[in-house]
Structure 1
Amino acid sequence: MRSQKEKLNILERAPQSLGALGQDTARKILKGALEDEDFFKTCPPLFVGWELTRACNLRCRHCYNAAGTAQPDELTREEGFDFLQHLADHGTVGMLLGGGEPLLRKEFFEWAEFAANHGINITVNTNGTLIDKETAQKMKDSGIVNVQVSIDGLFHVHNTIRGAPWAFERATEAIWNLFEIEMPVTVITTVMRSNMYNVGDLIDWLKDEYGGMVNQMFCRVKMVGRAMETGEIITGKEYLDVCHVIADHYGFTGMWSCIPYPYMIDLKTTDNFIRTVVNTSLGKRLYPERIQSRLQGDENAAEVIMGAVGGNCKAGTYMVNMGPQGDVVACVELPVIAGNIREKPLIDIWYQTKLFNDLREKKERIGGKCRNCSYMEFCGGGCRADAYNFYGDYLAPDPMCIPPGGWPLG
């Protein structure tokens, strides 16, 4: 057990995190979007998620791919290296390594180091239960720049969701092990039926335990995978209620916490925050020079950035995902396979398939209630996975969205 003095010493050195993208990747993407309004219609896959394996040491109630056992014929060691080289050759700047539990893949550190040595910023999405001090140091030594640890509730809430009585203790200790070697950490919290009334308590605990140094991001449980069998799916209204709890605890930082409702963001406060941060060392690493000129006038900084990046869902715009056997999808929760890298290079799948061509033009092609919504410019049409899993059409409106005053809007 660490003493309070030891914890304070660690927190003095702990770096801030900005989520999966990391600072360098986010800066490159934002720079492109600010300089060219059609950037996301022509850019290569700048950020790639790779599920290394289906193997997992937990059995989470909401897991979108019902992970547990490795699949037959997952990519080989050499296929993995070839894939990473392909990404480096075609402009990928960031990656998210996930699973299953990615640390169970024996090639994990080799692949991470290879990618980092080829200019790709690596983030890891993990349940945290395997990250002791030695593993944390190996992660840093291999060039990983950011770690996402999944925590869905306090103590028994998290343990029940994850299916293991030790899950919470190990995950929270992993954060300390990562902070100790100065690794940025983001906590990912999936809101579902089992924790929807405990989100505020978790936020308060994380702030208290880690001195506000943990960046927490939220997502709603999706209508796919194990959640469909365990009763964890919640309604749009229930998630909106939870988002109000999140906003009450974090205030304007709902912008950074993946709250999907732009009307909940305090634009004036966020504008003041960005204008302050942009001149700090953190801001200079994150925001490209272009933002400085845009902020000379009266434009709201939050509106400038949200308008440039086009909402929370980046599937198919600059982001793509690949499963353990090489299947390529826009999002891990959107089960439409565009191709397989064993049959066609990723860059060809990216530019030549209907799925990605549709998603690059989604603002013009999404139908229903989203088409004429005044928030379309900021939200980008919401979640394409929810649209597909509910309607069977990834260009349908987001079924979980509730605008202010309800539908119809206008």
Structure 2
Amino acid sequence: MRNRLKTSREIIDFFGYRPIISASIKLTRKCNLKCRHCYVAKESLDTVYAELSTEEIFSIIDSLVLLGCMNLFVNGGEPFLRKDIFEIFSYAVNSGLTISCSTNGLDLPEELIKEIATTKPKLFQVSIDGTKDVHNFIRNNRESFDKAIQTLNLARKYFDDKTEIVMATTLMKENKHDIYNLFKIAKECAVDTFCIVPLMQSASLEVTDVSIEDKYFLFNELSDFYIENYKNCYEISFIVPPGLIPDSVRNLKFGEGYLCSFPEMLGFDCNGNVAICDGFLENKEFVLGNLKNNDIQSILINKKVVEIESVTINELEGICSVCKFLVKCQGGCRVAAYNRFKSLKAPDPLCQDFFDKGLFNKENIIKSKKYRDIRVEAN
């Protein structure tokens, strides 16, 4: 969704092929936790999948390199449950990709972390959702906090400065009172970045999202608290569109918010399903095909790809239609927008909620532009 090369055809003509900037692979749906806020469908955690083999994953990596991909993100489930995880990291890096990963940190032996460190991943992210009792409640496991902290400490011990060590926290009603305590934990673990993530909406949630008013308050208060107490210790990152970033942290490293490469990206499920983004893997309508039946190039010749890429940023509705960050942001999370409004032209729902409540920063609105109402498409 770019306004310079507006159509799929223009992009292909320019590059000679459909470029992929980044990709993600769910290496497994298996997980050693059953977190209350997990957006992956609960039933899939107990489903036996015919997972992609090591060689099949290597083949995906080969294809991504040919398509110009630069960045690979691996997740799950819990990706470190795969016994071939080190081989996958090594193959990706030796193929020229930068690789990043997220983990719950529950069961990573020191020797494995030491091995992974030799591949020099771009980012190593561990989830910490509260102090001990809060985190263990959310994660449904009494050992999860101590194990995750241990993993962060081992990461700090073995990874060099080429790897960004991230502590990530998902914001929800169950931990909103505890967030301030996590700044100290991030310092004690010597992380490079403390990342705060809004709750991803899902039918399987067992937790409660915080209100829009609370998000507005917390984004601003947490930013000020960070500037006053921890600015020189590590970076802070809010995984939200740039229009929602508080002014106090806008000039920092991650002051532009979360910027997505959609639709120049691909998401792969552990069973071989392919979607433009791994967030769309949960929606059968957006699954483009399966690698066990076709190769990536054939799968990308798909009317759904054309439909997605035909939408330009100048067609986006709601707050996106008047936001000064539109060109940079490209409409925020397209998966969240579709899940809420059933339209690829809809705005990021978090930005829209802020706008509807009168909390969207008026300085970020272009007053000369006409607001386009959201047209919710019928199912």
| TM-score of the two chains, using structure 2 as the length reference | 0.77
179-188 or 141-150, larger mean C-alpha shift: 141-150
For 1:114-160, what per-residue CA distance to the aligned partner results, in whole angstroms no more than 9, with x for missing partners?
11111111112111112232111121234534311111111111111
Matched residue of 1:400: which SS?
helix
> Hey, which bits of structure 1, 4+ residues long, moved more than 6 A?
252-255
| Equivalent position of 1:141 in the other structure | 118
**Residue type at the aligned position of 1:396:** A
Distance verdict in 2 for CA 1:214–1:104, change over 3 Å: same
356-365 or 83-92, larger mean C-alpha shift: 356-365
The answer to whether the aligner puts 1:102 opposite 2:79 as a matched pair is yes
Structure 1's unaligned 5+ residue stretches are 1-32, 275-300
Contact 1:255 1:265 in 2 (8 A): no
Contact 1:51 1:323 in 2 (8 A): yes
The answer to whether the aligner puts 1:219 opposite 2:197 as a matched pair is yes
| Equivalent position of 1:46 in the other structure | 21
For 1:249-294, what per-residue CA distance to the aligned partner results, in whole angstroms no more than 9, with x for missing partners?
3349998433435364438971xx67xxxxxxxxxxxxxxxxxxxx
Q: 1:312 Cα shift? A: 2.5
**Residue type at the aligned position of 2:30:** A
Contact 2:156 2:189 in 1 (8 A): no
Matched residue of 1:144: which SS?
coil
**Residue type at the aligned position of 1:128:** G
Matched residue of 2:350: which SS?
coil
Alignment of 1:172-183 (within 5 A): 172-183=149-160
User: Which structure features the higher share of helix residues?
Assistant: 1
**Residue type at the aligned position of 2:343:** D
Contact 1:61 1:163 in 2 (8 A): yes
Sequence identity of aligned pairs in percent? 26
Structure 2's unaligned 5+ residue stretches are 12-17, 368-379
| Equivalent position of 2:275 in the other structure | 329
Aligned pairs, number:
337
Contact 1:47 1:319 in 2 (8 A): yes
Contact 1:246 1:254 in 2 (8 A): no
Distance verdict in 2 for CA 1:381–1:268, change over 3 Å: same
The answer to whether the aligner puts 1:63 opposite 2:38 as a matched pair is yes
Q: 1:97 Cα shift? A: 1.0
Q: 1:69 Cα shift? A: 3.4
Supply the distance in 2 between the matched residues of 1:390 and 1:159 (Cα, whole angstroms). Answer: 30
Matched residue of 2:238: which SS?
coil
Distance verdict in 2 for CA 1:254–1:189, change over 3 Å: same
Matched residue of 1:374: which SS?
coil
Distance verdict in 2 for CA 1:163–1:360, change over 3 Å: farther
The CA RMSD measured in Å over matched residues stands at: 3.2
Matched residue of 1:96: which SS?
strand
Contact 2:136 2:142 in 1 (8 A): yes
| Equivalent position of 1:314 in the other structure | 260
Contact 1:315 1:331 in 2 (8 A): no
Supply the distance in 2 between the matched residues of 1:203 and 1:317 (Cα, whole angstroms). Answer: 34
| TM-score of the two chains, using structure 1 as the length reference | 0.72
| Equivalent position of 1:205 in the other structure | 185
Which of 234, 237, 240 matches 2:210?
A: 234
Distance verdict in 2 for CA 1:263–1:73, change over 3 Å: closer
Which of 47, 63, 66 matches 1:89?
A: 66
Which of 247, 254, 277 matches 1:266?
A: 247
Supply the distance in 2 between the matched residues of 1:62 and 1:323 (Cα, whole angstroms). Answer: 20
Contact 2:172 2:210 in 1 (8 A): yes
